[in-house]
Amino acid sequence: MNNEIKEVEPLAQPISVFESDVTEGLTASPKFLKSKYFYDKTGDKLFQQIMELREYYLTNCELEILNSHKEHIAAYFKGSQEPFQLVDLGAGNAYKTKILLQHFIKKNVNFEYVPVDISENAIEKLTFDLKKHFPKIQISGYSKEYLDALRLIKNETPKLILFLGASIGNFSRTEAEDFFKQISRQMNAEDLLCIGFDLKKDTQIILDAYNDARGITKKFNLNLLTKINREFNADFKTDTFEHVPSYDPHSGEARSALRSKFNQKIAIQKLGVVIELKEGELIHTEISKKYALSEIKSLAENSGFQIVENLFDKHHYFTNSVWRK
Ligand code: AVI
């Protein structure tokens, strides 16, 4: 299959981070692509659909936690004279945060909403949408990298920083620790950090969440190849790959990969490379780590935090862990 000799032009210009990441990942052994590249326009839409899937329990668990603890969360800064800032890292369309926003507004909680998202479009849309539905809301959004935004956000008022959606599961242990250490440097003693962690649980429940019956997660995974075709003039044929989810209950790592159905060669013109895939060879695309409570505790402590409390859904599938410095 696809075994004709392929030729590509040598590279003429300096390359972007995405280009060098793709070259590095696809010429490595085993091959990999970084999951942060899932999120183009199609990837964003597919991820929205994933969040609504019956099998993808994570969203409903976190919604349940925020709903059942919203009064408790509103009380964190009750005594504070000045408005506290609700900083939302990776706000997107604030699907889950809206539970808190609605409640805080209804109860006249004195706060300012500070959504942070790398997408300018997402921040503009969210600001417009929220002002329309909650005309009284105080909102100042940042379309920046999380840590850059935290450096700019005013430091005189207390902050509740949200990092929802189990996004931390897509970080390696070292990346997670490093990320929280850097966040800690931008926090004061009275500030709180609330992180969504997906917890270790029955293997089949986790496998189903990453292998839904409608095949949306498969499309989400394959879209990475379509994106590389479009941006780098490559010739991946998505129907020559299978979506391969796996879960290791010891490490808690749910992994997604794409498996080549045949021996094949792929020319990536803009990167000046031809990659060779053997039948059955995997391209690793994502790790979604599931945590034990003891691992959350050691992650908090190693990054300079202590756990204030862990909030749970009724099945204890998920936790929103609240930390302070
Ligand atoms: C964004 N992130 C937390 C999701 C997860 O569960 O790892 C991305 C995802 N990948 C497949 N389904 C959802």
Tokens of 217: 């997660």
pLDDT beyond 90 at 43: yes
Q: What global pTM score does this model have?
A: 0.93
Query: How many whole angstroms from 223 Cα to the centroid of ligand 1?
Result: 14
How high is the pLDDT of residue 80?
A: 81
How high is the pLDDT of residue 79?
A: 81
> Rounded mean pLDDT of 232-246?
98
pLDDT beyond 60 at 233: yes
Burial of 234 (0-12, 13-18, 19+ CB in 10 A): buried
> Residue whose CA is closest, atom 4 of ligand 1?
167
pLDDT beyond 70 at 19: yes
Rg (CA), the chain: 21
pLDDT in tens, 173-208: 999 999 999 999 999 999 999 999 999 999 999 999
**Phi-psi label, residue 300: left if phi above 0, alpha if psi -120 to 50, beta otherwise:** alpha
How high is the pLDDT of residue 156?
A: 86
210 lines ligand 1 (CB under 6 A): yes
In this structure, which amino acid lies at residue 81? Q
pLDDT in tens, 81-126: 889 999 999 999 999 999 999 999 999 999 999 999 988 989 999 9
How high is the pLDDT of residue 197?
A: 98
Tokens of 226: 């379509």
User: Is residue 84 within a helix (H) or strand (E), and if so which, with residue range?
Assistant: strand 84-89
Query: How many whole angstroms from 256 Cα to the centroid of ligand 1?
Result: 10
Please list the alpha-helical segments (H only) found in 193-292: 203-209, 216-232
Rounded distance between C-alpha atoms, residue 26 and residue 115, angstroms: 35
Average pLDDT over the chain, rounded to whole? 94
Please list the alpha-helical segments (H only) found in 186-250: 203-209, 216-232
Other C-beta atoms closer than 10 Å to the C-beta of 222 total 20
pLDDT beyond 80 at 14: no
